[in-house]
């Protein structure tokens, strides 16, 4: 018994540097944000701020107006569409990559990982100017060559939503492909051989062997991607809402909406309250998803 | 052995973490200056200060996100600089945060008598001077002489519109600008006698003037590309696809590198109001942090005294085409002969310093939204204006 206690203490001791780092980098910012959300820290009380209780949370509720609700709905739609497309496209590509006797398999895999190697900021701006720009973008160059009118791809909410989805898929697919490829390669080939002998079609093999076998393996990746997609900021902001380069699109996720309606005020107490509410919102989604997974 | 290595690694990690907070001790003659300026400006300053105040040890440190860093460490002497060089528009924010020291006590009587009034106005917040102006920038009307002759250069906006109608089409533009960004469109609003915010923090004090400007400006926007970002506008002009533009002095080196036969002309006048397009001006200058003003008063005084000398402004103008804040600099033949610098000096007479009150921080976004709604989404001007006013009031209220 004493040995077990000593072992546990030692384990904590050896883990303490890592725990300290995790605490500093993950837990501390959340706790500090929660603390600031209870204060009046703003430009006029930068260093002499005081506790104001839940005032900021009460004021934050005014930000959650009809604009916020439509941004929330758009964010849910954005997450669903992106996740569905990611799973379908990644599954199709991985299935093709795993076709027996496929030549240059490694080259294709490397090319598919390429978007991951580029910094997201660079990728997004390249898409914005290289593809969607009215004057110089490739898409409009093609339209001009075909004798058609140029299109302002990012100017309306619907077309901006679609363009943002394309860029997000470009950025996110490598991760999903890598995880799905690893999962698919871990399936014992004998299952497929038996199924083929029993006369199962490709669709049946996919439905009864491939998908059930890879589901538990890709589940964590799906959860991670759901949350990164839900709290997406960079793609939407840089493509359509960047200061000095707005395009006219009204498409907002909850984060770009909160940024434009709170974070630019330099009122850290108020902005922190909004951050904490969004954080809790994500936490509730996460907990529900985790519970559903555990019940399975 | 493994244990020993683990313990050593742990100690190393903890030492590394604690070392972040350790700072070097500085003497009273050492001054650290943060900036975000181009190398030519800083090299000219360094050279001039070495000769003017050799007893001071001045270190220039370039910071890309200078304002954010100052918000974090502005009152921490171990991490913050003693002074910083930045545009005047953040003076209100930093003064309200309580990190800036007034600079008047460090200056000799009459030291600023020769400074352009516009620069002094920009550097003051609530009647207190918080910045020693060094140079300023304004937007200028630029044209490509290859396509727009001297005779074509429009003196009025109506003439500009006529030129645009005649020369826009088939991938070419008579005139381009960042039409839906607040910084550029402010010139049109000022030309109608309006403003984005007044010194009391009231957004759009003259509502009708702003709406008139938006309605009038929309006629020009219809003949410009549907993009408002810097890179598109800049590239169109540099590739010779746009005959003229309104741009800052920062465009000049790339225009010269692209072999553009660059002409600079006065801003056109709006016939309906009789006023010229009046762009914002940004005054770049040096600010003193409170603790440096208390602990290193002598060194700060010597430095500021050296920086008020006209020689420094002349050096800056010659090194990077800056328009000096000190009017005496313009008597120098070389500065007087610089077309770009002289054009900015002329524009300084009509230019409006960017508001330096904290409330302006949210107005950039509000005005951009308003312009985008009117110019790019073609929404009704009056409705968009009302929505912008509401958003402005909400955001200004949320600042406190």
Give yes or no for a contact between B286 and B134, defined as CB atoms under 8 angstroms apart. yes
Kindly tell me if the per-residue pLDDT of B13 is higher than 60: no
Q: What is the pLDDT at residue A93?
A: 94
Kindly tell me if the per-residue pLDDT of B22 is higher than 60: no
pLDDT band at A281, cuts 50/70/90? confident
Residue with the two structure tokens 């929505």? B387
Using a CB-CB cut-off of 8 Å, the residues of chain A touching B377 are: 155, 248, 250
3-state helix, strand, coil in chain B (%, to 5): 50, 20, 35
Which of A43, A129, A264 is facing B231, going by the closest CB pair? A129
Other residues' Cβ atoms within 10 Å of the Cβ of residue B340: 17
| Range A139-147, long-range pairs (CB < 8 A, 24+ positions) | none
Using a CB-CB cut-off of 8 Å, the residues of chain A touching B97 are: 43, 46-47
Cα–Cα distance measured from residue B270 to residue B204, given in angstroms and rounded to the nearest whole number: 20
pLDDT band at B24, cuts 50/70/90? very low
Judge: A270–B398 Cβ closer than 8 Å, yes or no. yes
Judge: B395–A265 Cβ closer than 8 Å, yes or no. yes
Q: What is the pLDDT at residue A293?
A: 65
pLDDT band at B21, cuts 50/70/90? very low
The tokens describing A109, both together, are: 């895999």
Give yes or no for a contact between B122 and B331, defined as CB atoms under 8 angstroms apart. no
Average pLDDT, chain A: 89
Give yes or no for a contact between B266 and B280, defined as CB atoms under 8 angstroms apart. no
Using a CB-CB cut-off of 8 Å, the residues of chain B touching A261 are: 391, 394-395
Q: B58: closest CA among B83, B37, B76, B78?
A: B83
Using a CB-CB cut-off of 8 Å, the residues of chain A touching B372 are: 246-248
Residue with the two structure tokens 């009459």? B110
Report the SS3 class of residue B140.
strand
Q: Convert the pLDDT of each residue in A239-274 to its tens digit.
A: 999 888 889 898 999 899 888 888 888 888 988 998
The tokens describing B159, both together, are: 């003439």
Where in chain A are the domains?
1-36, 52-295
Judge: B97–A129 Cβ closer than 8 Å, yes or no. no
Q: What is the pLDDT at residue B1?
A: 58
The tokens describing B373, both together, are: 């709604």
Using a CB-CB cut-off of 8 Å, the residues of chain B touching A48 are: 98
Kindly tell me if the per-residue pLDDT of A22 is higher than 50: yes
CB within 8 Å of B91: residues ≥ 6 apart: B100, B123, B125, B130, B131, B287, B356
Using a CB-CB cut-off of 8 Å, the residues of chain B touching A155 are: 226, 376-377
Which of B71, B231, B372 is facing A246, going by the closest CB pair? B372
Judge: A134–B226 Cβ closer than 8 Å, yes or no. yes
Pairing of strands B132-138, B128-129: unpaired
Q: Which residues pair with B119 in a beta bridge?
A: none
Judge: A129–B232 Cβ closer than 8 Å, yes or no. yes
Other residues' Cβ atoms within 10 Å of the Cβ of residue B12: 11
For B286-306, what is the mean pLDDT?
94
Q: What is the pLDDT at residue B245?
A: 97
- Closest Cα in chain B to A126: B231
Cα–Cα distance measured from residue B71 to residue B242, given in angstroms and rounded to the nearest whole number: 40
Q: What is the pLDDT at residue A243?
A: 84
| Per-residue exposure over A264-289, b if at least 16 CB sit within 10 Å of its own CB, e if not | bbbbbbbbbbbbbbbeeeeeebeeee
Using a CB-CB cut-off of 8 Å, the residues of chain B touching A242 are: 229
The tokens describing A286, both together, are: 């996460």
Q: What is the pLDDT at residue B23?
A: 45
Judge: B376–A59 Cβ closer than 8 Å, yes or no. no
Pairing of strands B30-35, B57-62: parallel
| Lowest mean pLDDT, pick from A182-196, A271-285, B240-254 | A271-285
Mutant choice from B12, B372, B387 vs A, greatest count of A C-beta within 10 A: B372
Size of interface A-B (CB pairs under 8 A): 108
CB within 8 Å of A39: residues ≥ 6 apart: A45, A49, A50, A51, A52, A269
Q: What is the pLDDT at residue A59?
A: 82
Give yes or no for a contact between B185 and B372, defined as CB atoms under 8 angstroms apart. no
Give yes or no for a contact between B385 and B154, defined as CB atoms under 8 angstroms apart. no
Give yes or no for a contact between B216 and B188, defined as CB atoms under 8 angstroms apart. yes
Give yes or no for a contact between B124 and B130, defined as CB atoms under 8 angstroms apart. yes
pLDDT band at B16, cuts 50/70/90? low
Residues making up chain B, counted from first to last: 400
The tokens describing B123, both together, are: 């550097």
Report the SS3 class of residue B100.
strand
Q: What is the pLDDT at residue A260?
A: 86
Which of B6, B377, B399 is facing A265, going by the closest CB pair? B399
Residue with the two structure tokens 């400074």? B115
Kindly tell me if the per-residue pLDDT of B17 is higher than 70: no
The angle that helices B360-371 and B381-398 make with each other, rounded to 10 degrees, is 160
Pairing of strands B83-87, B30-35: parallel
Q: Convert the pLDDT of each residue in A143-193 to its tens digit.
A: 999 989 889 999 999 999 999 999 999 999 999 999 999 999 899 989 989
For B87-111, what is the mean pLDDT?
94
Q: What is the pLDDT at residue B250?
A: 87
Q: What is the pLDDT at residue A113?
A: 87
Cα–Cα distance measured from residue A267 to residue A271, given in angstroms and rounded to the nearest whole number: 6
**Residue bearing the bigger pLDDT, A67 or A39:** A39
Q: Residue A290: what are its φ and ψ, rounded to 5°?
A: -65, -45
Kindly tell me if the per-residue pLDDT of B222 is higher than 90: yes
Q: What is the pLDDT at residue B302?
A: 95
CA A138 to chain centre: 27
For the domain made up of A52-295, give the CATH fold: MetI-like fold (1.10.3720)
Burial of B335: CB neighbours in 10 Å, binned 0-12, 13-18, 19+: buried
For B196-215, what is the mean pLDDT?
95
Ranges of beta strands (E only) in chain B are: 30-35, 57-62, 83-87, 124-125, 128-129, 132-138, 140-144, 244-247, 262-265, 269-270, 275-276, 280-288, 323-324, 352-353
Domains along chain B with CATH numbers:
27-137+281-353 (3.40.190.10), 139-280+355-398 (3.40.190.10)
For chain A, first and last CA: distance in Å? 36
Question: Does the model's ipTM exceed the 0.85 cut?
Answer: no
Q: Convert the pLDDT of each residue in A81-126 to its tens digit.
A: 999 999 999 999 999 998 888 888 889 888 888 888 889 899 999 9
For B335-356, what is the mean pLDDT?
92
Rounded to the nearest angstrom, the minimum Cα separation between A224 and chain B is 30
Report the SS3 class of residue B37.
coil
Using a CB-CB cut-off of 8 Å, the residues of chain A touching B236 are: 135
The tokens describing B32, both together, are: 């650290």
The angle that helices A66-97 and A105-117 make with each other, rounded to 10 degrees, is 160
Average pLDDT, chain B: 91
Judge: B398–A14 Cβ closer than 8 Å, yes or no. no
Using a CB-CB cut-off of 8 Å, the residues of chain A touching B99 are: 46
Q: What is the pLDDT at residue A223?
A: 87
Q: Convert the pLDDT of each residue in B371-398 to its tens digit.
A: 999 999 999 999 999 999 999 999 999 8
Adjacency order of strands within the sheet including B140-144: B244-247, B140-144, B262-265
For B171-193, what is the mean pLDDT?
95
Q: B98: closest CA among B355, B290, B231, B245?
A: B290
Give yes or no for a contact between B327 and B310, defined as CB atoms under 8 angstroms apart. no
Q: Residue B307: what are its φ and ψ, rounded to 5°?
A: -75, -15
Judge: B398–A267 Cβ closer than 8 Å, yes or no. yes
- The secondary structure of A3-26 as a DSSP string is HHHHHHHHHHHHHHHHHHHHIIII
Q: What is the pLDDT at residue B6?
A: 60
Residues making up chain A, counted from first to last: 296
Helix (H) or strand (E) holding B95: helix B91-97
- Closest Cα in chain B to A130: B232
Using a CB-CB cut-off of 8 Å, the residues of chain A touching B9 are: 17
Q: Which residues of A touch chain B, with CB atoms under 8 Å apart?
A: 14, 16-17, 20-21, 24, 42-44, 46-48, 59, 62, 129, 133-136, 152, 155, 242-248, 250, 260-262, 264-267, 270
């Amino acid at each position: 018994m004493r040995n077990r206690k000593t072992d546990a203490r030692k384990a904590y001791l050896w883990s303490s540097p890592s725990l300290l780092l995790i605490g500093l980098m993950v837990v501390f910012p959340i706790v500090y944000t929660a603390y600031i959300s209870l204060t009046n820290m703003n430009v006029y009380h930068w260093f002499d701020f005081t506790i104001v209780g839940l005032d900021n949370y009460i004021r934050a509720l005014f930000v959650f107006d009809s604009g916020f609700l439509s941004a929330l709905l758009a964010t849910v739609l954005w997450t669903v569409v992106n996740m569905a497309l990611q799973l379908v496209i990644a599954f199709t590509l991985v299935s093709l990559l795993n076709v027996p006797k496929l030549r240059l398999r490694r080259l294709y895999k490397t090319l598919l990982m390429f978007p991951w190697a580029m910094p997201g900021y660079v990728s997004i701006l390249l898409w914005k100017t290289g593809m969607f720009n009215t004057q110089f973008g490739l898409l409009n160059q093609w339209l001009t060559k075909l004798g058609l009118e140029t299109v302002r791809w990012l100017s309306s909410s619907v077309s901006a939503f679609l363009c943002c989805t394309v860029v997000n898929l470009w950025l996110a697919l490598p991760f999903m492909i890598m995880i799905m490829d690893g999962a698919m390669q871990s399936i014992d080939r004998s299952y497929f051989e038996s199924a083929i002998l029993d006369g199962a079609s490709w669709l049946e093999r996919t439905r009864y062997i491939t998908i059930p076998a890879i589901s538990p393996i890709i589940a964590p990746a799906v959860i991670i991607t759901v949350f990164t997609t839900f709290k997406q900021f960079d793609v939407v902001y840089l493509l359509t809402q960047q200061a000095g380069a707005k395009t006219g699109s009204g498409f907002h996720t909850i984060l770009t909406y909160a940024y434009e309606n709170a974070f630019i005020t330099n009122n850290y107490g108020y902005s922190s309250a909004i951050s904490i509410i969004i954080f809790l919102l994500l936490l509730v989604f996460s907990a529900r998803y985790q519970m559903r997974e555990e019940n399975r | 052995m493994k244990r020993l290595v683990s313990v050593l690694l742990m100690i190393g990690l903890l030492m590394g973490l604690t070392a972040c907070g350790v700072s070097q001790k500085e003497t009273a003659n050492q001054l650290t200056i943060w900036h975000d300026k181009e190398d030519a400006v800083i090299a000219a300053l360094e050279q001039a200060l070495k000769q003017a105040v050799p007893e001071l040890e001045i270190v220039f440190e370039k910071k890309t996100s200078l304002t954010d860093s100052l918000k974090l460490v502005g009152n921490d002497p171990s991490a913050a600089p003693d002074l910083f060089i930045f545009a005047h528009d953040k003076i209100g924010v930093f003064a309200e945060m309580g990190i800036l020291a007034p600079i008047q006590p460090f200056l000799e009587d009459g030291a600023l008598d020769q400074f352009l009034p516009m620069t002094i106005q920009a550097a003051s917040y609530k009647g207190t001077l918080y910045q020693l102006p060094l140079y300023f920038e304004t937007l200028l009307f630029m044209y490509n002489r290859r396509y727009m002759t001297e005779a074509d250069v429009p003196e009025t906006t109506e003439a500009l519109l006529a030129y645009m109608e005649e020369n826009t089409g088939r991938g070419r533009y008579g005139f381009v600008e960042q039409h839906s960004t607040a910084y550029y469109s402010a010139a049109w609003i000022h030309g109608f006698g309006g403003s984005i915010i007044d010194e009391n923090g009231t957004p759009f004090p003259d509502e009708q003037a702003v709406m008139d400007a938006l309605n009038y400006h929309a006629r020009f926007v219809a003949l410009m590309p549907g993009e408002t970002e810097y890179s598109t506008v800049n590239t169109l002009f540099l590739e010779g696809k746009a005959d003229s533009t309104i741009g800052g002095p920062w465009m000049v080196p790339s225009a010269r590198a692209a072999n553009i036969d660059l002409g600079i002309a006065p801003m056109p006048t709006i016939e309906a109001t009789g006023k010229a397009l009046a762009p914002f001006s940004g005054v770049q200058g040096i600010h003193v942090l409170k603790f440096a003003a208390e602990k290193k008063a002598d060194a700060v005084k010597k430095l500021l005294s050296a920086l008020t000398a006209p020689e420094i402004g002349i050096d800056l103008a010659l090194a990077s085409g800056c328009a000096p804040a000190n009017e005496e600099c313009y008597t120098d033949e070389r500065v007087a002969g610089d077309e770009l610098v002289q054009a900015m000096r002329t524009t300084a007479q009509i230019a409006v310093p960017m508001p330096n009150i904290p409330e302006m921080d949210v107005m950039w976004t509000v005005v951009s939204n308003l312009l985008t709604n009117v110019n790019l989404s073609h929404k009704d001007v009056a409705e968009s204006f009302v929505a912008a006013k509401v958003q402005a009031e909400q955001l200004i209220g949320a600042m406190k």
